Amino acid sequence: MTIPFFEIKNLSKSFGGLTAIDQLSFQVERNTIFSIIGPNGAGKSTIFNCINGLYKPEEGEINFKGQSLRGFRPDQVAKKGIARTFQNLELFAHMSTMDNLLLGRHLHMKAPIWQLIGLSIKPLKAAKEEIHHRQKVEEIIDFLELQSARNQFVSALPYGKQKLVELGRALALDPELLLLDEPAAGLNQEEREEMVFWIKDIRNHLVITVILIEHNMQMVSSISDRILAINFGKKLVEGTAKEVLN
């Protein structure tokens, strides 16, 4: 029996009397794009919050490359190679794109963060480490074509670019699994198409597995290898875009 890259088994999570996730199970294969769809309040974001350790599920298992994620804090889950973006932008608006991406690398940093960002005179070890992290971040800036935004405050960028910066910050972690919570929410048609392009590129060229939450069915069917539809925290149907549309 082969070990699934990522799997959720019989996951349940409730808030008071409300069951947000109800005995949910699914598996995600390596290097695929797996989408979760469902109406508002269906429990989609709660799944991500259980995966990355923000919420503690009452029941069930979450396994990443054969290892249980049970009991790990968000920073520990991130260190295992699982990065995420949030439904509402969570960026430092009054910092540059570069510094936001550098913050995305903080789990890989040995020197204290205040030595790496903002200080003009740095201890030698921190200075050397900074060069390495800046190179990594420059690669992501080039990959996402964010060069013109590099030194701008995030607050000065159009919303579509801000969403890309958030994507870049998640990539800065060097993840194997990327959790994207409605990355196209609030984007116009053109920006949405651009986002679809980047997500495909991330899977194809960075060889990262993607779990995507999205409610635009058109976007989901053009991008996903598999789709899971949920409501009231329960699985309605799972399969390829064609199967789910039927």
d(CA 235, CA 230): 5
Residue 59 or 193: the one with the smaller Cβ distance to ligand ADP is 59
Task: Show Cβ contacts of residue 63 under 8 Å, excluding neighbours closer than 6 positions.
Answer: 3, 4, 6, 7, 8, 9, 69
Element (H, E) at 159: helix 159-171
Tokens encoding 137: 């971040």
Nearest approach, Cβ of residue 101 and ligand ADP (Å): 26
45 touches Mg ion (CB under 5 A)? yes
CA-atom Rg of the chain in angstroms:
18
Nearest approach, Cβ of residue 182 and Mg ion (Å): 6
37 touches ligand ADP (CB under 6 A)? no
Nearest approach, Cβ of residue 168 and Mg ion (Å): 21
Residue 88 or 188: the one with the smaller Cβ distance to Mg ion is 88
Largest CA distance in the chain: 61
The item of ligand ADP, Mg ion, none sharing an interface with residue 162, based on CB under 5 to 8 Å by kind, is none
Residue 41 or 112: the one with the smaller Cβ distance to Mg ion is 41
Nearest approach, Cβ of residue 175 and Mg ion (Å): 20
165 touches ligand ADP (CB under 6 A)? no
Neighbours of 125 (CB within 10 A): 11
Residue 24 or 172: the one with the smaller Cβ distance to Mg ion is 24
Please, which of residues 39-98 interact with ligand ADP by CB under 6 A? 40-46
Q: Is 218 helix (H, G, I), strand (E, B) or coil?
A: helix
The C-alpha angle 154, 224, 1, rounded to 5 degrees, equals 115
Please, which of residues 67-106 interact with Mg ion by CB under 5 A? 87
Q: How many residues bind ligand ADP (CB under 6 A)?
A: 11
Q: Which residue from 173, 191, 169, 201 is spatially nearest to 98, judged by alpha carbons?
A: 169
- Residues interacting with ligand ADP, by CB under 6 A? 15, 18, 20, 38, 40-46
- Residues interacting with Mg ion, by CB under 5 A? 44-45, 87
